[in-house]
Amino acid sequence: MLDRLQSLADRYDKLSELLCDPDVANDTKKLRDYSKEQSDLQPAYEAYTEYKKVIEELEAAKAMQAEKLDDEMREMVKMEIEELSARQQELEEQIRILLLPKDPNDDKNVIVEIRGAAGGDEAALFAADLYRMYTRFADNQGWKVDIMDVNESDLGGFKEIIFMINGRGAYSKMKYESGAHRVQRIPATESGGRIHTSTSTVAVMPEAEEVDVEILDKDIRVDTFCSSGAGGQSVNTTKSAVRVTHIPTGIVATCQDGKSQNSNKEKALQVLRARISDMMRQEEEAKYAGERKSKVGTGDRSERIRTYNFPQSRVTDHRINLTVHKLDQVMNGEIGDLVSALTLAEQAELMDKGE
């Protein structure tokens, strides 16, 4: 571990030199790449720097303990050794986590798809609740939300909504949300006061750049049509809505949120790239599913991951058997505790595997 840390520290120092080089400063791509690499290394570098300082102070304290000291001084040295030893253990744990393999997509923007599933109108209304939950969470993180496509239900819910969250680290926190979300509550449409169970599905995909997924013009079919709103009524008379079909895979992406056909086409292509990349990733992971089944799920939208029980104000994440009794706060976007618990569970799993 120490050899690897020293190697990271050496690379961090080298990057500091490179960033001061005039040739790098005048090269936008190199400057951006080196700055990002150094930023990624900084947490481990700072932890290692403090770790070395703690070890030096601990050795000095132990050497002093071997000297002839009065009782008061000996007690002070003993307390210092205890504090430094505790800090050493904390730093070692922190460093082990920092050295875990990082998901290469963690820093990327995400495309989120929410669909009402089982439960008809109530499922669509819950899909709208989930959308509001994620947008409020995004606001708290300082991220920007951009709707890409939406299909509203007659009662104001969403049969489907697709949106992008722009912000560094968005995927690292949103990736655990993929799966089936179950709600238990009395629907507004229920006159008998009975509790119903409905589900909405969430798919979270990292944004795929053009260099990640190349889409050739000859491989796509582009159709245009008039945008429509709830109930299917036309909301404009120009064919600004765009449907893009990737012929080799059959994957389709639609965007009708913007008034510009070109803007909608570009957004549809963004969704298409993300879906193709997600398909490729899932195919690759399926080869190792037996060996690498994760406690926090596979990202399969058919997997039930969480239950929101309104009568008991309870939210349960089934992947890590975590229950919190603060449903109002969660639905208001305060999902940080759930995200942190899922992150820790994944880190613990990786550490157990010795990866």
pLDDT digit string, tens, across residues 101-112 = 777 888 899 999
pTM reported for the whole predicted model:
0.74
Report the candidate in 47, 49, 59 with the shortest Cα–Cα distance to residue 84: 59
Q: For residue 306, which of 319, 290, 289 has the smallest C-alpha distance?
A: 319
User: Confidence band (pLDDT; 50, 70, 90) for 332?
Assistant: very high
* 142 Rama sector, left if φ>0, alpha if ψ -120 to 50, beta otherwise: left
Tens of pLDDT, residue by residue over 155-178, are 888 999 999 999 988 999 999 999
Continuous segment of H or E residues that includes residue 71? helix 71-98
Q: Which helix (H) or strand (E) holds 46?
A: helix 28-65
Higher pLDDT among residues 114 and 103, named by residue = 114
**Angle between helices 336-353 and 71-98 in degrees, nearest 10:** 90
Length of the chain: 355
Most confident of 232-236, 250-254, 295-299: 250-254
Q: What pLDDT is attached to residue 296?
A: 57
Top mean-pLDDT range of 7-11, 289-293, 299-303: 7-11
| Residue predicted with more confidence, 64 or 299 | 64
Q: Are 96 and 137 in contact (CB under 8 A)?
A: no
Q: How confident is the model at residue 291 (pLDDT cuts 50, 70, 90)?
A: very low
Q: For position 181, what pLDDT does the model report?
A: 95
Q: Computed from CA positions of residues 202, 318, 138, 123, in that sequence, does the dihedral angle turn out positive or negative?
A: positive
How much is the pLDDT for 114? 95
**CA pair distance 283, 110, nearest whole angstrom:** 19
Nearest CA to 222 among 246, 195, 238, 251?
246
- Residues above pLDDT 90, as percent of the chain: 44
Asked if residue 192 has pLDDT above 80, the reply is no
Please state, rounded to an integer, the average pLDDT across all residues of the chain: 85
